[in-house]
Copies of this chain bind each other. A is one copy, B any other.
Amino acid sequence: MRAEEMLQTLVAHGYRLTEPRQALLEVIACRPGWFSVRELSEDLGQKKIRVGRATIFRTLNLLVDLGLLERVRGANEVEGYVVTGAGEHHHHLICSRCGRVEELPECPVAERLAELAAERQFQVVSHNLEVYGVCIQCLRQESLEQEK
């Protein structure tokens, strides 16, 4: 999703189009997948953009609330974010090598979980699932390097 579209969503929800928000969205949109707040800050530093800590977190929370971002724990157990496409319930394949994120077309839990929970009379409200591994691009690159 491009920075432009995210800005439009902000406006559509009555939020102001401020300087820091534009800068942040610009940087976020460049990220190929999962990113931590630290990486975001580094990107900002690189581009010599100054945005206050508080504003970074405020904006991230805002974007999460609007469904433009999702909070996702990376492979390394570090907290981070991911640009989301759909607002609906879904899960991610997260590449531990490059951080790329793929969305699963369906929830692989739902069915079996409902049965298991029912057996134990547990009322499920929500769940989160994150899948870690290696994406096809990284796999290919790896095999190329091994051929050398």
A46 at the interface (CB under 8 A from B): no
A134 at the interface (CB under 8 A from B): yes
- Known contacts A130-B127, A132-B127: A121-B105 contact under CB 8 Å: no
In this complex, how many residues of chain A approach chain B with their Cβ under 8 Å: the count is: 35
- Known contacts A106-B116, A112-B112: A121-B139 contact under CB 8 Å: yes
Q: Which residues of B contact A130 (CB under 8 A)?
A: 127-128
Closest to A124 in B: B133
Interface residues of A in 71-86 (CB under 8 A from B): 71, 73, 77
- Known contacts A105-B116, A108-B112: A131-B124 contact under CB 8 Å: yes
Assembly stoichiometry (copies): 2
Q: Which residues of B contact A105 (CB under 8 A)?
A: 116
- Known contacts A109-B109, A129-B109, A129-B129: A123-B134 contact under CB 8 Å: yes
Interface residues of A in 53-112 (CB under 8 A from B): 71, 73, 77, 93, 95-96, 102, 104-106, 108-109, 111-112
- Cβ-defined contact, B136 with A131, below 8 A: no
Known: A106-B116, A123-B135; 14 extra A-B contacts, CB below 8 A, are: A96-B125, A104-B116, A108-B111, A121-B139, A122-B134, A122-B136, A123-B133, A123-B134, A123-B139, A124-B132, A125-B132, A126-B133, A128-B130, A129-B129
The listed residue (B122, B131, B133) touching A133 by CB distance below 8 A is B122
- Cβ-defined contact, B125 with A127, below 8 A: no
